[in-house]
Amino acid sequence: MNTKIISSALISVFDKTGLEPLIKALVAHGVQLYSTGGTEAFIRELGYEVHAVEDLTGYPSILGGRVKTLHPKVFGGILNRSSLESDQTEIDQYAIPSFDLVIVDLYPFEKTVAGNATESEIIEKIDIGGIALIRAAAKNFNDVFCISNKEDYASFIEIYNHANGAPSLEERKEYAVKAFHTSSHYDTAIFNHFNEKENRLKVSIASSQELRYGENPHQQGHFFGPLGDLLEHLHGKEISYNNLLDIDAAVNLMLEFYDGKPAFGILKHNNACGFAVRDTLSAAYKDALAGDPVSAFGGVLISNKTIDLETATAIHSLFCEVVIAPNYDAEALSLLKEKKNRIILIQKVSELPNQTLRTCLNGVLVQDKDSKTDQKEDLTTATKLEPTSTEIEDLLFASKICKHTKSNTIVLAKNQQLLASGTGQTSRVDALNQAINKATSFGFDLKESAMASDAFFPFPDCVEIADKAGIKTVIQPGGSIKDKLSIAYCDAHDMSMVFTGIRHFKH
């Protein structure tokens, strides 16, 4: 095992949080400390001796602090290869000290951008010296241990004390990988802030978690992202890959209803199998479950309001994988926790990405998120008969669910309740027939119900099938060269139909 005793350390950190125990550990082993600026002052205030980088280089911090450590006597000491005789000759010739440990915490660029800072303030938070120190130390991991994140202080102290001040080569290399991750993520954040062209893509996500497996047990799976910023995991087993896909679908669907009356959704395989809006949450859950009580088994449940005891009591009799809500009454939460594996989540207020990414062939597809929600003012009545105000409410309700259902899809709704949907079908007629058969199998009367389609009808067959099932009002994008045929059928059979002009494919 290639070990090397740490005898000197260069420390330059923006955030001093957690630094004191690390300094104490190094001093206890007789490590010489070098630092500059605020970090140097912090170490002196702790009562420890520290060498000023300015004394080493012969230059003060200049240009308002922009240049502090960028000097051969600093970087020579980091990049010095102890196994190379020529390096040692030059180190001796120019009186350059060797550094065995480099500790850096970068300027908080992402935090500054998120805080709505001015452009000049953002530019000043682009770290130059810190990034250079990290890259140099990581490059020379054979001789130098690099700590590039304050979250690693505690783990380093454990490694350091266990190794009696001499971490192994494997440990130095492991932290070098972390350091390159820190530097590349930092550079990506800077690039993405200034990038205004849509034909350049750089993605870096600092946080990740390993999942039990991927979509199937033989596939590995990971989630990359700060999941805790959006969801608080109150109870239950570990969230799986498939859970996350359903949770994503549920959260995005419920955002369409988040600020309205009590709404409840039940999703399975990324599609809503039940959804209702009512005056009380318990009534919304009851009617959402009625939409498909079979598919609800093992589903993901989501509410836009705090779950009360009455609603929780109804939920408790159903086997479900996940329950999501903005909050829970204490008694409701206690009851739901009685099922030890049931995943209970609080959805926090958090901004979701405005783009979607997915792998495709040997690359990645990127698109703007479908953020368009059909509104009353978007509707153009295409038929002689106009929908009533109640029908318009149902049409818009159905359209919101349709937008979040796999194409080809047809959604049937009445009185703000999802009656059924045809999902992921290869033809629109198949989707409609699937929805009708499903609705009637659960005892729903389709008379006076509303129908939504994610894309236009290429032929009048769908409106004809709908009419014969009792459906009397339709919402669709329009835009087919044969729209007139569908309109003519509706006019001849006392049906109303509105066009939105917006297609909502979801593949």
Q: Which helix (H) or strand (E) element contains residue 452?
A: strand 450-453
389/378 Cα distance (integer angstroms):
15
Q: Identify whether the C-beta of residue 446 lies closer than 8 Å to the C-beta of residue 432.
A: no
Nearest to 128 by CA among 78, 71, 175: 71
Helix axes 19-28, 153-162, angle to 10 degrees: 20
Could you tell me the CA-to-CA distances from 46 to 18, 118, 156 in Å, in that order?
Answer: 13, 34, 20
- Concerning whether 316 is annotated as a catalytic residue, the answer is no
- Annotated active-site residue in 185, 269, 286, 372: 269
- Concerning whether 269 is annotated as a catalytic residue, the answer is yes
Cβ neighbours for 415, distance < 8 A, ≥ 6 positions apart = 394
Q: Identify whether the C-beta of residue 455 lies closer than 8 Å to the C-beta of residue 442.
A: no
Residue 328 carries which DSSP code? B
Alpha helices for 291-355 (secondary structure H): 309-316, 330-336
- Annotated active-site residue in 139, 173, 185, 237: 139
Amino acid at 388: T
Q: Is the peptide bond before 142 cis (omega within 30 degrees of 0)?
A: no
Could you tell me the CA-to-CA distances from 274 to 76, 94, 111, 375, 424 in Å, in that order?
Answer: 66, 75, 40, 22, 16
Catalytically annotated residues: 139, 269
